[in-house]
Amino acid sequence: MSDAAVCAGAEEVLERYAATVFAAAYAMVKNKEDAEDIAQEVFISYVKAKPAFESAEHEKAWLLRVTVNCCRTHLSAPWRRSGAIGSASTPPRWTRPCWTRT
């Protein structure tokens, strides 16, 4: 598969699942910026792995599993303080990250 095809496929996956991945990450880390970083890390992992899936459900499950794993890694980091600084009582609405805007 060519790099252009991989990028086109990744862009389609990003469009389809970005809000879901962000929401899952935010639910775990309770911080908008960290959730955006984790979502970016998940999609970078997707592009690097170039996985083949049997169905859309399998693809979504893979993305959510990687999201949960990235969140757990983030939350277990030794530098992480307990409690989120400035966390809002209502979660922020997902907006397209600046690195995907055209």
Q: 82 falls in which pLDDT band (50, 70, 90)?
A: low
Q: What is the pLDDT of residues 29-55, one digit of tens each?
A: 999 999 999 999 999 999 888 888 889
Contact criterion met (CB below 8 Å) for 71 and 45 = no
What integer pLDDT is reported at residue 99 of this predicted model? 62
Please give the Cα distance from 100 to 89 (Å, whole number).
Answer: 27
Contact criterion met (CB below 8 Å) for 46 and 6 = no
What integer pLDDT is reported at residue 90 of this predicted model? 59
Alpha helices in the chain (DSSP H): 3-29, 32-49, 56-75
pLDDT at 11 over 90: no
Q: What is the mean pLDDT of the chain?
A: 82
Q: Which range is least confidently modeled, 1-15, 25-39, 41-55, 64-78?
A: 1-15
Amino acid identity of 59?
A: E
H/E stretch holding 95: none
The model carries a pTM of 0.71
Q: What is the DSSP letter of 19?
A: H
Q: 8-17: buried (b, 16+ CB within 10 Å) or exposed (e) per residue? A: eeeeebbeeb
